[in-house]
Amino acid sequence: MSDITEQLLRGTSKGVGAKAALALEDGTVFFGAACGAAGEAFGEICFNTSLEGYLEVISDPSYAGQIITLTYPQIGNYGVNLEDAQSGKPALRGLVVRDMCATPSNWRSDMALGEYLERNGVVAIEGVDTRALVRHVRDHGAQRAIVSTVDDDVDSLLAKVRASASIVGQNLAATVSCERPYAHTAHDMPDSVRFALAEGPDARFSVIAYDCGVKRSILDGLVRAGCSVTCVPWDTPAEDVLAQHPDGVFLSNGPGDPDAVSGTYSQVGKLLGKVPMFGICLGHQMMGKAAGADIEKLKFGHRGGNHPVMNLLTRRVEITAQNHGFGVLFPSMGELVPDLSGGYTEHHDDLRFWVRAGIAPVVRNERFGRIRLTHVNLNDGTVEGVAFLDVPAFCVQYHPEAAPGPTDAHYLFTAFARLMEGRKDYLDIDIAADRLAGWRFGAEAAKELANA
């Protein structure tokens, strides 16, 4: 924080918080002011580019083990409405912002964001040049970091962060999963959004959801697709799940290194082919691991609400919400089937090759038969979705619940319902119409779209 900024703040009702520091393991250090709980926090530094929805980001269990940098300049201006929180308690290690609003204005606000962070023990720093920090992470990659309000000695901070644990190899899903099964129904959805969202349909499907750190909005999305949901712990045996005779099994989002979550993907391998399955984010990676795929750690991950994804089946581009630091390597899932891949026999690491070719390639997996690439990230050519052709299962790397983010991918909840109905065309959906489903204005808007 510059001297001029500090002088200006001292003359306002906000004032200047206690000194705070952020240090990265490569020696980069930023100084600012505390705007959350006092103390120190260690984690992997990452950044999220969403323009709104900071509470949903902060309360997403997938951020366990991480220090989040929010790139939008001012955070907290509309306060905190607790019904928007995605979990009972935030799992992130720390928060970095340019400016924290101390006096929010919103009819739904329960408290200021700084108060929420302090109540939940989240160490946070403001006054950081987040543009410079994000550029540094993009250039040099994700790395360990420390946020401290009690130590501003550079040598001390660097010694601490370099002695801290890496996120690689940690099973963080186990730290945010539920301890025992619980149900999620229409009665669990927040009352304060009923002015905008219509009532969901009656439950037609019984779904077991593996809770690896599931967001509440994802469960709401399943309920709005006609599912009665029972969440179970991350390592629940497949035999226990099948004994309940569900119509489908859902694999949730979650934090950390997917290679470390063997208690989930080992069970997924037993479930595939026995029951219709849908996975997102970590759930996508769990399906990949069950099929023998290799996992890569991305340089700085995909986090935000503006990531373009090509749907290879419909040739539509979806603007998606994402939050992950690891990804599945599609070529490792099997050899290409030339007859179903435009005659091609060679894999390409950059999957945008298939976007340009206009082909949704298929591989032959040793364990589960044919698997089709369905979605590709247009920023870096990584895999964003696959569909199993010989067993009823599909998965995507991004977040269709869009909390926060656009609703382009809402159709995937509908697709899961159609998969449980036994339809072969479950992914053949007009996403432009489906994204309006569930909103109170949706029926009229869909009617206008159909008549256009």
CATH number at residue 309: 3.40.50.880
Among 126, 145, 163, identify where a domain stops: 163
Which residues 6+ apart lie within 8 Å of 406 measured at CB? 305, 306, 318, 319, 320, 321
pLDDT of residue 425: 94
Which pair of structure tokens corresponds to residue 165?
């644990």
Q: Are residues 206 and 64 in the same domain?
A: no
* 66 part of a folded domain: yes
Q: Are residues 128 and 149 in the same domain?
A: yes
Task: Return the CATH number at 143.
Answer: 3.50.30.20
pTM over 0.75: yes
Q: Are residues 122 and 185 in the same domain?
A: no
Q: How many structural domains does the chain have?
A: 2
* 326 part of a folded domain: yes
Q: Write down the residue that tokens 């994700």 correspond to.
A: 142
pLDDT of residue 452: 57
Helix (H) or strand (E) holding 176: helix 173-176
pLDDT of residue 92: 97
pLDDT of residue 188: 83
Q: Are residues 122 and 236 in the same domain?
A: no
Angle at 435 between CA 318 and CA 282, to 5 degrees: 55
Domain enclosing residue 14, as ranges? 3-163
Helix (H) or strand (E) holding 321: strand 316-328
Q: Are residues 290 and 197 in the same domain?
A: yes
Cβ contact 431:440 at 8 Å:
no
Q: Report the C-alpha gap between 234 and 48 in whole angstroms.
A: 26
Q: Which residues are annotated as a binding site?
A: 62, 254, 256, 282, 285, 323, 325-326
Q: Which residues are annotated as a binding site for L-glutamine?
A: 62, 254, 256, 282, 285, 323, 325-326
Q: Are residues 145 and 194 in the same domain?
A: no
> Active-site residue numbers?
281, 399, 401
Mind listing the pLDDT tens digit of every residue in the chain (452 residues)? 667 777 776 777 677 778 999 999 999 999 999 999 999 999 999 999 999 999 999 999 999 999 999 999 999 999 999 999 999 999 999 999 999 999 999 998 999 999 999 999 999 999 999 999 999 999 999 999 999 999 999 999 999 999 999 999 999 999 999 999 999 988 887 776 766 676 777 899 999 999 999 999 999 999 999 999 999 999 999 999 999 999 999 999 999 999 999 999 999 999 999 999 999 999 999 999 999 999 999 999 999 999 999 999 999 999 999 999 999 999 999 999 999 999 999 999 999 999 999 999 999 999 999 999 999 999 999 999 999 999 999 999 999 998 999 989 999 999 999 999 999 999 998 887 777 776 766 555 555 555 65
pLDDT of residue 444: 56
Q: Are residues 235 and 312 in the same domain?
A: yes
